[in-house]
Structure 1
Amino acid sequence: MPSAITSDTPIPRSKIMGFDHIVIGAGAAGCVVAARLSEDPDRRVLLIEAGGHNRRLSVKAPAAFASQFDTKLDWAYRTEPEEHLAGRELFHPRGRLLGGCSSMNAMMYVRGSAHDFDSWEAGGATGWSAEDVLPFFVRSEDNEDLRDRYHGQGGPLHVQTVRDPDPVTLATVEACAQAGITRRDDINGEHQDGVALTQVNVRDGVRHDTATAFLGPARRRPNLEILTGALVHRVVLRGGRAVAVELSDRRNRIRQIEASGDIVLCAGAFGTPEVLQRSGIGPAEHLRAVGIAPAVDLPAVGHHLMDHPFQFVNVELDERTPGLFGIEHPRNVARWLATRKGPLTTNVGEGLAFIRTDPSLPAADVELVIAPIYFWEHGRGQHPRPAFSIGLSLVAPESRGSVLVSSGDPTQKARVRLNLLSQGSEVDAIVRAIQRTREIVAQPALDGIRGPEINPGPWTADDGSLRGFIRHTAQHTYHPACSARIGSPEEGACDPELRVHGVEGLRIGDASAMPTVTRGNTHAPTIMIGERCADFIRRGASAEQVREARPAATTA
């Protein structure tokens, strides 16, 4: 059986003494950091996760991802009323299990544009240019289909192009090409602009999350321990150094576990700033206002939050072309259980296109997600007839939001404000994207397949009505980032080697460290950040040097 500690049983004292590194959060990045650090047999690593295992059918069946929303597997955040979205509170799922959001997402493997990373470097994130980060993308990857300098084989993470795409997906991809969008085999290579079938983290009909890919092979290592069901309260600081993690288990037992080396925050774009603020690291004025004594004044912690606004165009299908309508039928479930084949192996978003709604832009500003099914309200929306969807993700947003705790209580979620569409230019870009999508839907490839437009619908023929529709219906793309970003102490939380400003021995290794959100799904770049974080630590000091720097760790 894999080595794991659970909070349902006492932790032997020998198990919790002498850790060199503690990784907080076993999500998309945390699994990577812990696995890579534990490759060095001399480093003793503890990985802490608030949730439980990922061995659930709703996790393993690719098409079932939305069924996890608002369950015990989900942190289930709700935003504050969004001022620019007609005062709506948005539901924002975040994975609470081994694998985190990599166990809950739509498995799309999208790295982002080279322009993103070159912009990071130009903005002060030294060593994060497109060429700098490429080796870390390649290192992770085991790509079944693509073999060139942009892709790797033999890495932990399985990547493949969608298998057996639905005929509706193929027709829509062809319609994109007919509308003038360049057809690509690879949107993770030299060029991002274009249309392609999606690269996905699916292997043999089953989700390949980071808990499976990275943590699975590592769990038998004697120098790696995994503590599940443990809620981290704060990082304990002594003399300007992070020395321990305070946590509670399901029985509300509170303990501190010390580390002789780096503690790494991988709790995600919401959880990482929460833990930092509860530890006294953040905007001092706000911390005092909510009853937390400031230890390090970092104004940017919890600010600069970014996410991609998301808008759907839904179109009915001819009844002879059902797409994925009825995918949940018991016969499909039985087929997947027996053979790991059939419709449940789809990631739903089977095709992607990256477009520029303004030709003067330096890179794509919208990602089109092609799904041969009706998708609305996080998958909860229903339509009585077959339909297909094209999601429009604004991947070059300007708006910034915040993640701010309201107290030091770790059971209380922070107040999240996405502040989506605070800029009128963002709404204008989505209007252009909807009009472009309507051009795609009108192409000959969809003749005999398409029915009437459901959303936005015929009443939104002019730009003014579209703007109103967008404000009242737009969502996010599940891509929060940048809330503890690389930047100066005035503008960021950590330096380019992911070290938290003003605190020794504390790093950030997840999407919260992005200076700006990447153009596309954030899963792949989050894994890359985890790879880089582990590499910084391993190159910085050997395990023996780490231990010599401080007395042996103890437990409290």
Structure 2
Amino acid sequence: MENSQDVNRTLERFDYVIIGAGSAGCVLANRLSEDPQVSVLLLEAGGSDWNPWIHVPVGYFKTMHNPATDWCYLTDPDDGINGRRLQWPRGKVLGGSSSLNGLLYIRGQRQDYDDWAAAGNHGWDYASVLPYFKKSECQERGADEFHGVDGPLKVSDLRLRREIAERFILAAKAAGIPENPDVNGATQEGVGYFQQTSYKGFRCSTAKAFLRPALSRPNLTLIKRAHCQKLLFADDLFAAERRSDEGAREVNGPEDASSIKRIAGVEFMVDGARRRVQARREVLLSSGAIGSPQILQCSGIGDPQHLNSVGVTCRHALPGVGENLQDHLQVRLVFKTRCRTLNDEVRHPLKRLVAGAQYLLSRTGPLTLAASQVCVFTHSREGLSRPDIQFHMQPLSADKPAEGVHPFSAFTSSVCQLRPASRGSIRITSADASVYPSIQPRYLSSAEDQRVVVDAIKVARRIAMQAPLAEVISEEYVPGSGYQSDEQLLDAARQYSQTIYHPAGTCKMGQDAMAVVDERLRVHGLEGLRVVDASIMPVIVSGNTNAPTIMIAEKAADMIKQDCLARS
């Protein structure tokens, strides 16, 4: 290992270099290393997933906002939410955000993918992506037209049921919402219990499902705490190699490409040393909706005007890098109740000990809690062709997870718009890859989003007014009965909303001027580079984003193998 000032002189070569061992990167590492003839390097900027709270489902209360496991991003002040800054947790460990998230398994709507295909992204229609959802899945309920049982990702039913959740389901049905036992099946609309990525009371992250079984393969190399500095263009990489070896090294074939339009390697920091590796075939960027555009921009790939403003020489103009940012913004209504909720079960130290004992003995109880129990997909108003809002119902309430539950009985009815029209951006502020980028969500900047969020609060209140839920509600605690007019409800949304941690879209797939990747996830105008993660979504899916990200990586792995065969 060279000192911190030097780049390694012996250039290591791998067929594929994957940047990021998160929800997508772990899948890629597993699927590509299935071929013993190829070598795969997986770089992860975070550390191991050893923390026991990662593997306990409710452990997200301990791992989110913890700098040992979370990158702890913070958005810029946002006018749409009264100038507030929101915390954006992102996983800083193997498995990425699949090791920190709320375990909720939601695929989105058939129309989401059909719309992607209709926009020119061939092969991304629902019929084409469904096999990849099934390929990754080991569904507890068994196999059927929509579900698989042979995949490594365990998907199970909740191991926790509570009275207040049952009442919520009955109230939603009374409000005209049909019951749906499988929102990942034939149709999404309806109310029912969430499915979650867990197995026998333990979290099933992509690190556990995909990466760990593959680590014994000799052709897969994992380097942790390897922070990517930039992508290496072929002319720079081989010019530096020739200079260091003074012509002694023979470089030929596609590796000798001198064109600026080929990415041929990666530069990263590990243990205080700067290292370079070469990708014989491809570099696969899987660092998420924040990390992937940041790495591209630090490498000189992006909008020339923006790059020049922060001291980065533009090497390849792609104005869409970092743009098209989308996220699900939730308004969290909290209702005090006359009946017991999980607040009562976990508020006191002795009760927490009882819950801990229950988990240790039977893997049941409050510690198996996913981020929510009940999901609802419905319409914010009459006349819509498909659901445009989603509820996450929790049988507890808190201001922030790390601060503990409220000192009273209550539940949370959180509602978000599924397909927001507002668009934000991720933009670097420095050429230094260790400096966090500017995150500008621009929440509620669209008039349509403002209308939907007001109507969504009204739907939440309508459910709360139905029996048998209404009879146990004593008070609307947040935002409170003082908010009644549309203007007041919009103000409540601006003040009491939070992210559901679903950033997407910042390296969008498509053919228009702002697209970053094509339908095979190849970066436009560059050879040897693909982006594979939630950032490629042209439009965010109608629901939680982890399952679709895993699907994207499954499909990408097949496309990479197909393209390799086509070239040979």
Sort the TM-score into its range (normalised by shorter chain): over 0.9
Name the counterpart of 2:119.
Answer: 123
The answer to whether the aligner puts 1:267 opposite 2:287 as a matched pair is: yes
Q: Which amino acid aligns with 1:193?
A: E
Q: With structure 1 as the length reference, what TM-score do the two structures score? A: 0.93
Please give the alpha-carbon distance, in whole angstroms, between the structure 2 residues aligned to 1:498 and 1:375: 40
User: Counterpart of 2:444?
Assistant: 421
- Please give the secondary structure, in 2, of the residue aligned with 1:504: coil
What SS does the aligned partner of 1:138 have?
helix
User: In structure 2, what is the Cα distance between the partners aligned to 1:212 and 1:13?
Assistant: 34
Q: Where does residue 26 of structure 1 map in the other structure?
A: 21
| Post-superposition CA distance 1:300-335 (Å, at most 9, x none) | 0000100011101111122x4233534371221233
Q: State the alpha-carbon separation in 1 of the partners of residues 9 and 410 from structure 2.
A: 57
2:241 is equivalent to residue 218 of structure 1? no
User: What is the CA–CA distance in structure 2 between the aligned matches of 1:109 and 1:297, rounded to whole Å?
Assistant: 37
Maintained 8 Å contact 1:118/1:129: yes
Matched, 1:446 2:469: yes
Task: Give the structure 1 partner of residue 264 of structure 2.
Answer: 243
Match of 2:407 among 366, 377, 384: 384
Residue 52 of structure 1, CA deviation: 0.9
Matches within 5 A, 1:494-509: 494-509=517-532
SS at match of 1:232: strand
- Kindly state the Cα deviation for residue 396 of structure 1 after the two structures are TM-superposed: 1.4
Residues 81-113 of structure 1, C-alpha deviations (whole Å, 9 max, x = no match): 102111111111111100011011111100001
The answer to whether structure 1 residue 287 and structure 2 residue 282 are counterparts is no
Tell me what 1:479 maps to.
502
Tell me whether 62-71 or 506-515 shows the greater mean CA deviation.
62-71
For residues 462-500 of structure 1, what are the alpha-carbon distances to aligned partners after superposition, in whole Å with 9 as ceiling and x for unaligned? 222111111122122100000001022612100000000
1:550 corresponds in structure 2 to none
Q: Does 1:405 align with 2:405?
A: no
Does residue 1:181 correspond to 2:200, yes or no? Answer: no
CA–CA separation in structure 1 for the residues paired with 2:511 and 2:403:
42
Is 1:76 matched up with 2:72? Answer: yes
Secondary structure of 1:159 counterpart: strand
Q: CA shift at 1:381, angstroms?
A: 6.5
Corresponding residue of 2:256: none
Go from structure 1 to structure 2 and tell me whether the alpha carbon gap of 1:355 and 1:77 turns closer, same or farther (over 3 Å shift): same
Q: Distance in 1 between matches of 2:396 and 2:109?
A: 28
Choose from 151, 157, 161 the match for 1:161.
Answer: 157
**Residues in 1 aligned to 2:226 and 2:267: alpha-carbon distance in whole angstroms:** 10
Report the Cα distance in structure 2 between the residues aligned to 1:29 and 1:402, rounded to whole angstroms.
Answer: 21
Whether the aligned pair in 1 keeps the contact of 2:326 and 2:424 (CA below 8 Å) is yes
In 1: Cα distance, 2:125 partner to 2:344 partner:
43
C-alpha distance after superposition, 1:218-252 (max 9, x if no partner): 11111111110110011101222111110001x32
| Counterpart Cα distance in 2 of 1:422 and 1:380 | 30
Match of 1:315 among 319, 335, 347: 335
Q: Does 1:40 align with 2:60?
A: no
- Paired with 1:526 and 1:454, the residues of 2 have a C-alpha distance of 35
CA distance 1:261–1:117, shift in 2 (3 Å): same
Query: Following TM superposition, where does structure 1 have runs of at least 4 consecutive aligned residues deviating by more than 4 angstroms?
Result: 11-14
1:229 match: 225
**CA separation of 1:18 and 1:88: change in aligned 2, threshold 3 A:** same
Residues 160 and 368 of structure 2 are in contact (CA less than 8 Å); yes or no, is this contact kept in structure 1? no
TM-score by length of 2: 0.91
Q: Deviations over 1:283-303 (max 9, x none)?
A: 111111111111110000000
Cα distance between partner residues in 1 of 2:393 and 2:69: 26
Aligned position for 2:138: 142
2: distance between equivalents of 1:137 and 1:355? 23
> Matched residues in 2 for 1:196 and 1:184: separation?
5
8 Å contact from structure 2 (residues 343, 407) kept in 1: no
Aligned AA for 2:37?
D
Q: Percent identity?
A: 36
SS at match of 2:59: helix
Deviations 1:106-144 (CA, angstroms, capped at 9, x unpaired)? 111000011111111111111111111111111110001
> What one-letter code is carried by the residue in structure 2 that aligns with 1:355?
T
Distance 1:189 1:403, change over 3 A: same
Check conservation: 1:278, 1:292, Cα contact below 8 A: yes
Q: Which of these residues, 291, 297, 303, is aligned with residue 323 of structure 2?
A: 303
Q: Supply the distance in 1 between the matched residues of 2:198 and 2:76 (Cα, whole angstroms).
A: 34
Aligned to 1:357: 380
* Structure 1 unaligned residues grouped into runs of 5+: 547-556
In structure 2, the gaps of 5 or more residues are 235-258
Asked whether the equivalents of residues 29 and 526 of structure 1 are also in contact (C-alpha less than 8 Å), the reply is yes
Residues 464 and 379 (structure 1), Cα distance of their counterparts in 2 relative to 1, 3 Å cut: farther
- The code of the aligned residue for 1:322 comes to T
Q: Which secondary structure does the structure 2 equivalent of 1:261 belong to?
A: strand
Letter in 1 for 2:19: I
